[in-house]
């Protein structure tokens, strides 16, 4: 599989997200998914302490076992675990990392990411503590998530000479969520940061299993609450049908279109997608190989304008 760089890390252009480990998959099912990912050349595994309130890290750590060679392991901190465990204060993030290392069964994390900005803590304080962890060998690279372009610039300005800086930004980005194109992607390019899209399949809307005029699949994410209701509009369903037709006319699937469209941008280094089965992992791994032309990109823009 093709690889791209996140700082000093070489990662597969398709990554495996761990948000299903714990909430939807037990330890055995997690191992089957992780094994399938390794079999198809995925080496980038991205999770967070908040996923399953620690279960995702625990199950992922068990599944990987001692297989550390060539694997790039990423996790995140900062979301509210409970009233005491939250935010980006230096003392807490040091403890959060120790907790993550214990659950993951490792002595270091390759990419440690601030899950979202903490308005109560100066970013310089957080970066200083993260730099200490890098110098201690417990973290190889650091990144951020859900940062605006302004916050990315603020973080860069707060880095002391010779200290660790963010090397990646992980924000939501898909054919149905193109907000990063306004400023964030350009800022990443300017600073040489890797961009990692999350929710690349728009919570499943870009998988092809949600079709106009058909009932929502039972137990699916988009049928599970108001959080995703905004995606279930007639306008979006019409766009999905047009995208399916566009991809099909060129011998490709909607899934392949969703992944390949993201990877067409050089600043995008790896498309992180969750999976609940080995078959889903295999399909994801095969989905990034369509080299879209400029004419094809222009036609996609007409179907789903930025």
- Per-residue pLDDT 10s for the chain (306 aa) are 899 999 999 999 999 999 999 999 999 999 999 999 999 999 999 999 999 999 999 999 999 998 778 899 999 999 998 888 999 999 999 999 999 999 999 999 999 999 999 999 999 999 999 999 999 999 999 999 999 999 999 999 999 999 999 999 999 999 999 999 999 999 999 999 999 999 999 988 998 877 776 766 665 555 555 555 677 778 888 999 999 999 999 999 999 999 999 999 999 999 999 999 999 999 999 999 999 999 999 999 999 998
User: Residue 3, SS3?
Assistant: strand
**What is the pLDDT, as a whole number, of residue 225?**
54
CB distance 145 to 169 below 8 Å: yes
Entry pTM: 0.93
What domains are defined for the chain? Answer: 3-207+258-291 (3.20.20.100)
**What is the pLDDT, as a whole number, of residue 212?**
72
User: Known catalytic residues?
Assistant: 51
Nearest to 183 by CA among 165, 175, 167, 195: 195
Going by the DSSP 8-state scheme, the letter that residue 29 receives in this structure is H
C-alpha dist (Å) from residue 304 to 176, 203, 221, 251, 292: 7, 17, 22, 20, 15
The rounded distance, in Å, linking the Cα atoms of 159 and 174 is 30
């Amino acid at each position: 599989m093709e690889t791209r760089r996140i700082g000093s890390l070489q990662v597969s252009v398709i990554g495996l997200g761990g948000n299903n480990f714990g909430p939807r998959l037990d330890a055995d099912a997690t191992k089957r998914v992780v094994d399938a990912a390794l079999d198809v050349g995925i080496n980038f595994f991205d999770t967070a302490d908040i996923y399953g309130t620690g279960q995702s890290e625990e199950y992922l750590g068990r599944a990987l076992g001692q297989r550390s060679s060539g694997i790039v392991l990423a996790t995140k901190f900062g979301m509210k675990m409970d009233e005491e465990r939250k935010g980006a204060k230096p003392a807490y993030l040091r403890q959060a990392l120790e907790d993550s290392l214990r659950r993951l069964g490792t002595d270091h994390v390759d990419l440690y990411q601030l899950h979202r900005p903490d308005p109560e803590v100066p970013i310089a304080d957080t970066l200083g503590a993260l730099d200490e962890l890098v110098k201690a060998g417990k973290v190889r690279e650091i990144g951020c998530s859900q940062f605006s372009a302004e916050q990315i610039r603020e973080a860069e300005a707060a880095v002391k000479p010779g200290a660790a800086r963010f090397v990646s930004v992980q924000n939501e980005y898909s054919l149905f969520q193109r907000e990063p194109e306004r400023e964030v992607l350009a800022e990443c390019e300017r600073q040489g940061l890797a961009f990692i899209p999350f929710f690349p399949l728009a919570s499943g809307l870009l998988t092809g299993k949600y079709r106009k005029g058909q009932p929502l699949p039972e137990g699916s994410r988009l049928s599970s609450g108001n959080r995703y209701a905004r995606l279930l509009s007639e306008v979006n369903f019409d766009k999905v049908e047009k995208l399916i037709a566009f991809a099909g006319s060129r011998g490709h699937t909607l899934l392949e279109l969703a992944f390949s469209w993201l990877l067409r941008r050089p600043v995008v280094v790896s498309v992180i997608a969750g999976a609940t089965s080995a078959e889903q992992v295999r399909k994801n791994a095969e989905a990034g190989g369509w080299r879209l032309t400029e004419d094809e990109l222009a036609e996609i823009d007409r179907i789903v304008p930025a």
